[in-house]
Amino acid sequence: MENLDVMVLRTLRDWRLAGRRALLTTVVRTWGSSPRPIGSIMALAEDGAVVGSVSGGCIEDDLIARYSRAHGAPGEMPSGPPALVKYGVTADEAHRFGLPCGGTLELLLEYDPDATSLATLVEALEQGRLMQRTVSLADGGVRLAEAGVPAALTVTGKELVNTFGPEYRMLLIGAGQLAEYLSTMAKFSGFAVTLCDPRAEYRTGWSTPGVTISTEMPDDAVLAFKPDRRSCVVALTHDPKLDDLALLEALQSEAFYVGAIGSRRNAQARRERMIEHFDQTEASLARLRGPIGIYIGSKTPPEIAVSVMAEILAVKNNVTLPRETEVAVAKAAAAG
C-alpha cells in the first residue's frame, strides 16, 4: 500500500483533471483526543466517492451527506474560498461523530482545488521531493515550494501551510521468509519496499508482489537506493560479506533507521569486526541497531517481523521505547 497522502492527492488530481467537482479536507487543529492527527487529509468527490480519512468514519459520513449527492443525499458541493469547520464542539456532537473523550477537531475544506497545481504536487512527490503547500484562506490560491526539512502543519488567519513528503522507503538486504513478512507489513504501513539479494538461489522462492528486486551487491544497492530521512535499511542475511558493507554505507546516509538481524553475540561481533577492519568507532556505530526489534518473545518469522516493524514505526514516529523493550536488555534480564 502506497503513502496515503500521495494516494489521496493523486486521486483528487485525477478527479479534477476529469472535470469532477471535489473538495480536499485537512485536519488543522485538534483539542482533546482525536482519531486522526493534524495534517491528515481526505478527498470527497461530488458523487460521494471518498479517499483518505479525517476521523473514524462518522465525520466522513456527515461530509458526504452535506457536500455530495451520494445515494440520493441532498448535499451540494459549494464554491468559493476555503472554509474552516469544527466537529465535536459539544458533548452531544462528540458522541454523534464518534470523537473519543469529547474531543474536537477543526477541518479546512478546499472546494475544487486547482487540477494543475495538484498535478505539479503529485509529480514532485513521485520524484521523491519534499514539498510545501501553502493555501490562502482568503481565496484558496495555492503556492508550491520544495521544502528542506519535514515540518508540522501550521495555520494562521491568512494561510495554511502543510508539508507533504514522498513515500517512506525500506531497503531489505536478504530474501527469505522474514523478508517476505517484513516487506508485507511495511507495504501495509505505507512504505515502498526494495529487496536486495545477489544470491539467485534465495530469490527463487520470493512471492511478495509490489516489491522492487535488486540483484546488486548490497553496498552498491544502498548507494543506488540513496537513503534519505524517510528511509530505513534492514540487513537480514546473517552473512557479514553481504551485510557489513551495506550497513556501513547506510550509516553514512540520512536513513532514520539502520539495523541488522542477529543475536546479542552476533551483534557484538559485528561491531567488533567493523571497528577492527573498517576503522569504525563506537561513536560512528551509535546509530546501528542490533539486535533489532522490540522484545515480545518472538520465535517465528512472522512474530519477528512484527517485532522489527514495531521498532521501525516507533523510530519513524519519534517514540522513545522503554529500555525494557530492547531485545538485548530484555534477554539479558531474563538470563540473569
- The answer to whether residue 329 scores a pLDDT higher than 80 is no
| DSSP SS3 for 5 | helix
Place of cell 471518498: 50
- The answer to whether residue 66 scores a pLDDT higher than 70 is yes
What would you report as the CA-atom Rg of the chain, rounded to the nearest whole angstrom? 23
Number of domains in the chain: 2
Give me the amino acid identity at 43. Answer: A
Give the residue-averaged pLDDT of 295-314: 94
Q: Residues 40, 54: contact at Cβ < 8 Å?
A: yes
145 & 200 share domain: no
- The answer to whether residue 135 scores a pLDDT higher than 70 is yes
Q: Pick the residue with more confidence: 289 or 91?
A: 289
Question: Residue 276: CB partners within 8 Å, gap ≥ 6?
Answer: none
Query: Residue 228 belongs to a domain with what CATH number?
Result: 3.40.50.720
Backbone angles phi, psi at 260, to 5 degrees: -140, 140
130 & 207 share domain: no
Cell representation of residue 124: 514532485
77 & 192 share domain: no
209 & 127 share domain: no
Distance, in Å, from the CA atom of 96 to the CA atom of 58, rounded to the nearest integer, reads 8
108 & 237 share domain: no
pLDDT in tens, 225-281: 999 888 999 999 999 999 999 999 999 999 999 999 999 999 999 999 999 999 999
Q: Residues 177, 208: contact at Cβ < 8 Å?
A: no
39 & 93 share domain: yes
322 & 187 share domain: yes
pLDDT in tens, 159-213: 999 999 877 899 999 998 999 999 999 998 889 899 999 999 988 888 888 899 9
pTM: 0.71
Sign of CA dihedral 149, 154, 158, 159: positive
Longest alpha-carbon distance in the chain: 73
Domain that holds residue 173: 168-335
pLDDT in tens, 96-118: 666 655 568 899 999 999 999 99
Instruction: Among 164, 190, 211, give the residue marking a domain's end.
Output: 164
61 & 204 share domain: no
Distance, in Å, from the CA atom of 5 to the CA atom of 118, rounded to the nearest integer, reads 12
The angle subtended at Cα 210 by Cα 207 and Cα 215, nearest 5°, is: 70
- Cβ neighbours around 140 below 10 Å, total: 17
Q: Which of 41-45, 56-60, 97-101, 121-125 has the lowest mean pLDDT?
A: 97-101
39 & 173 share domain: no
227 & 324 share domain: yes
The pLDDT mean for the chain works out to 89
Q: Which of 51-60, 76-85, 166-175, 183-192 has the lowest mean pLDDT?
A: 51-60
- Cβ neighbours around 12 below 10 Å, total: 27
Instruction: Among 136, 164, 192, give the residue marking a domain's end.
Output: 164
